[in-house]
């Protein structure tokens, strides 16, 4: 028989997997995702994972907690790559320039 704590862990994993499924669907809808779309999806996943980690009960199995934290770190690594990308920096500067000059 499955304990209450095990059901809680199953619910957490289900929520986590649903988030990744939704992100995968979002990314596959377009043939050519933009850097900003990918960045938004990664940041959305990070935020959802942060919420999942915050909501974890004390009884959460350590491997599950570690898996969520490691996934959050991996998404942080990808975000760091985007932020360090010369294209991303150039695009954000161009957008900022256009916004400040009312060109849009």
How far apart CA 61 and CA 48 sit, in angstroms, is: 19
The three-point CA angle 84-94-102 to 5° equals 145
- Quote the pLDDT of residue 77: 78
| C-beta of residue 41 within 8 angstroms of C-beta of residue 27 | yes
- pTM for the full model? 0.61
pLDDT of residue 45: 85
Mean of pLDDT values over 76-80: 73
Better-scored residue on pLDDT, 51 or 83: 51
């Amino acid at each position: 028989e499955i304990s209450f704590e095990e059901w809680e862990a199953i619910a957490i994993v289900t929520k986590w997997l649903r988030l990744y499924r939704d992100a995968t669907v979002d990314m596959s809808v377009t043939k050519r995702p933009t850097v900003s779309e990918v960045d938004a999806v990664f940041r959305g996943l990070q935020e959802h994972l942060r919420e999942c980690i915050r909501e974890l009960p004390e009884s959460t199995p350590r491997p599950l907690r570690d898996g969520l934290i490691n996934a959050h770190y991996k998404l942080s690594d990808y975000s760091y790559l985007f932020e360090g990308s010369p294209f991303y920096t150039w695009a954000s500067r161009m957008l900022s320039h256009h916004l400040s000059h009312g060109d849009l």
